[in-house]
Amino acid sequence: MSIAKGAAPLVILGLTLLPPLASAAGDPFLTVIATRMVIFALAALSLDLILGFGAMVSFGHAAYLGIGAYAVAVLGGMGVTDLGLQMLAAALAATLFALPTGAISLRTRGVYFIMITLAFGQMAYFVFVSFSALGGDDGMALKGYSTLLGLPVLASGTGLFYVSLALLTLALIGLDRITRSRFGRVLRGCRENSLRMQAVGFRPFPFQLTAYVVAAAICSVAGVLLANQALFVSPAYMSWQRSGELIVMVVLGGAGNLIGAVLGALAIVGLEEGLARFSHHWRLGFGLILVLVALYSPGGITGMIRRILPAGRPG
Amino acid sequence: MSALLTISGLTKSFGGLRVTDDLSLSIEECTTHAVIGPNGAGKTTLISQLSGQLRPDAGQIIYADEDITRLDMAGRVHRGLARSFQITTLLPGFSALENVALAVQARRGSSFRFFRAARAEKALNDAALACLEEVGLAAQANRLASELSHGEKRQLELAVALATGPRLLLLDEPLAGTGHDEAEALIALLGRLKSRLTLVLIEHDMAAVFALADQVSVLVNGRLIASGPPARVRSDPAVRAAYLGEEEADPCCASRV
Amino acid sequence: MLNLILLQLINGLQFGILLFLVAAGLTLVFGIMDFINLAHGVLYMVGGYVMAALSAATGNFWLSLVLVLPAMLGIGLLLEAAVFRKLHDRPHLDQVLATFGLVLILSELVKLIWGAAPLSVTLPEALAGSVPLVGPLRYPVYRIAVIAAGLAIALMLWFVIARTRIGMLLRAGAANPAMVSALGVNVNRLFMLVFAVGAMLAGFAGAIVAPILSVDPGMGDSILILTFVVIVIGGVGSVRGAFVAALLVGIVDTMGRIFGPILLKQLLEPAAAAQAGRTLAPMLVYLLMAGVLFWRPSGLFGRSTGA
Ligand SMILES: Nc1ncnc2c1ncn2[C@@H]1O[C@H](COP(=O)(O)OP(=O)(O)O)[C@@H](O)[C@H]1O
Ligand SMILES: [Mg+2]
């Protein structure tokens, strides 16, 4: 985690400078991309809490992205546009879905856990597909942006960016503390050896379930932001491809050290947008990069950084 | 004095293989009870059932006047029934100190605390360090468990078990694979523990067994073939035939395996 | 109504057989080598494209179908040597990352070579008609041929697994992966073989559906997830489990899509029922999977992982 300490402030600082740089470069679309990066970084970060620190590989995490996005649509439709209330409702809805499905999923281990979380993710997906009041398969456009203390802060691209970045920073600090706390230590212990933890008197289940719910709630906040960015919600936010992409972000960045998930999300969104400018067939190069990283750089991007900078070892 | 642990009719099979066969035994508080027997006799399986890792097929386990047969591992640990593992079971990515500190944390206050850094909790670390000192591993406190030597891992395994604050400690071959000096130190430590804890000791080192044990039980093919004070078990003809064998006619002088 | 049920039952069977062909190789790679392969679905897609290309080139359906087998075997061996071999003893997540990358590469390559538009394969005369089933009910010959071919392959697989030395190793490996290497078997060779044959079966499945469905770059995606559902319901590593689960999933999915709306009509107004039924039906297999895993956390035929 030494790497998180050093890299996190740098990454956040770098991101802070993006919008002015974008307007200096005369390319406001860069801010849009940067916002996407930050939102997905938040989602990937939440996944890292369970995947990286709890060895719970959820293949249905995008469901919470969708739940957050639909919370904005539903509340907005009722005239509730306050961002705080929307985030609260999103987190609540995510908790309500994560509690029972997480409890059932945690009966299984390993591959079976991956697949049962996929199953629940798909169920959520199909529920929203069949909800014609919410636009069904096609999704629906939002009436307007969420407001912050009554102000239309999110209506401007930079406003949305900085709100997203602030939330990402908060989550990064919060999760950093959580993973080092007593709770986090138990979670990490269960990742390393569940039998050992039971033999000193811990029951892994409540810890794992709590982490699962916290991750879900944080991811739903990313969903709230995503809905604001697109001014549109659709079940596609919760498709299994999306869940797979979140896993890939965490693994590409390096799981279990928080900043890795952020870097992975930045890299993936950046590559997608960047390569797409060069070639229609950008996925070829993108896939190649993923394969090469998997083959030759264990631990992903943070693993690479660790090898280049022979500073302290992780701990 | 009533028994701290009473096992009756304990039975466990793996497929067709009866590994624990209608086993009954009782263990008095503050005694050291050695269980010996050849490899594959079912000693580890017995410990696993006592600690709650495995469910017996039949039988009953009474601990401190409570039927704990269906209680899970964590529940037993909280009641003071702890174990060490024959095959080292540690958290490889945690320091030696943190391995022990987690065991302290498990019984001190809630672990649902989300903000303070656990590694900086002095009370936990002090208690953990005391356990490491007890097993002679204090100097290695900050090394990763995965980087310790085999003997040091065995010491750490014991320190973790001690840190749970046990009343009854199940030790599965604590000396296995340790060097001569480490073993001497561990035997001395067990000698000290013996006066304040109840120990169930599985061990192949006969010198250690006969030096420490108040009672010895001999397990062969899942059955108890003898149980009693060391002197009586040592001279039991069935035991000599089945287990101790010719070359260990005088077990006190037998060399360590 | 009875006729409709029978018809859909056979359709479900046919879909299940296809799922089995794709799942068989994956469950072995998964169960024995403990390898998570997300790229198995694209092999099915590649099989479809190879078939389309061959039949366009040769104009001969049967010859193309025969040629697909060695072609897919070769592609399987190539991928194994280039990527999979290096990922054996790496963490699952690295395997996920690499095979996710492979999915992107292969899908894009296919688009690059054949374009994004769907391709079709024409049926030979002999298989183009339909045969009477019961009463006025008729069923396409080709679909019956697909079922027969799939069953024949399932039988062959069963024979190999139940009666041969390699099959014994596979069974031992699925029950206890560490044991295979303990037996002194060259695990790398076994993996290569399993992987390549798995690729061949998946490709073959893609080839034989080509005349029924169109061949498009997305066809691997949709089957991959259902394949995972199949092997998880069946129990990872169990070919028998994959067979049972594949038929189950195929039938449940097909019947659900047809009868879901009909049943819902009893509860809802027709328009809403049609809409809800159409969209809720795909959920059935996931409900099935969640239910199975709830009662049996290691699948129907999976080895229990203990407490
Ligand atoms: N999980 C298991 N599954 C099947 N057989 C087992 C299992 N654990 C132990 N055994 C078998 O039970 C017998 C007793 O094992 P164990 O209790 O480890 O013996 P000991 O500790 O006395 O050497 C051995 O034959 C062993 O192979
Ligand atoms: Mg043993």
Please state the domain count of chain C.
1
Q: For residue B48, how far is its CA from the centre of ligand 2 (angstroms)?
A: 10
Please write the tens of the pLDDT for every residue from C56-71: 999 889 999 999 999 9
- Whether residue C217 lies inside any domain: the answer is yes
Sort out which chain B residues have CB atoms less than 8 A from A186's CB and list them: 102, 105, 111
As a residue count, chain A comes to 315
In angstroms, the CA B72 to CA B95 distance is: 27
Query: Given A181, A199, A210, which is nearest B115 (Cβ)?
Result: A181
Asked if residues C72 and C199 have their Cβ atoms less than 8 Å apart, the reply is yes
CATH number of the domain enclosing C29: 1.10.3470
Whether the per-residue pLDDT at A165 is higher than 50: the answer is yes
Residues with CB under 5 A from ligand 2 (ion): B 43-44, 86
Please write the tens of the pLDDT for every residue from A237-284: 999 889 999 999 999 999 999 999 999 999 999 999 888 888 888 889
> Which CATH number applies to B1-80+166-257?
3.40.50.300
Secondary structure class of B224 (helix, strand, coil): strand
Structure tokens at C26: 């994956």
In angstroms, the CA B94 to CA B167 distance is: 26
- Whether residue C128 lies inside any domain: the answer is no
Whether the per-residue pLDDT at C139 is higher than 90: the answer is no
Whether the per-residue pLDDT at B175 is higher than 60: the answer is yes
**Averaged pLDDT for residues C186-211:** 89
- Whether residue C132 lies inside any domain: the answer is no
* C153: containing domain: 8-123+140-295
Whether the per-residue pLDDT at A312 is higher than 70: the answer is no
Please write the tens of the pLDDT for every residue from C254-281: 988 888 777 777 777 777 777 677 667 7
Whether the per-residue pLDDT at A179 is higher than 80: the answer is yes
Lowest mean pLDDT among A30-39, A119-128, B234-243: B234-243
Please write the tens of the pLDDT for every residue from B21-44: 999 999 999 999 999 999 999 999
In angstroms, the CA A146 to CA A61 distance is: 24
Mutation to test the A interface, candidates C37, C269, C275, C286, most A Cβ within 10 Å: C286
Q: What is the residue-averaged pLDDT of chain B? A: 90
Domain ranges of chain B: 1-80+166-257, 93-165
Q: What is the residue-averaged pLDDT of chain A? A: 91
Whether the per-residue pLDDT at A163 is higher than 70: the answer is yes
In angstroms, the CA A196 to CA B160 distance is: 10
Lowest mean pLDDT among A55-64, A228-237, B71-80, C264-273: C264-273
Query: Any CB–CB contact under 8 A between C28 and chain A?
Result: no
pTM of the model: 0.91
The residue to mutate among B12, B19, B219, having the most atoms of ligand 1 within 8 angstroms of its beta carbon, is: B19
In angstroms, the CA B111 to CA A19 distance is: 42
The residue to mutate among B11, B20, B45, having the most atoms of ligand 1 within 8 angstroms of its beta carbon, is: B45
Lowest mean pLDDT among A140-144, A234-238, B245-249, C223-227: B245-249
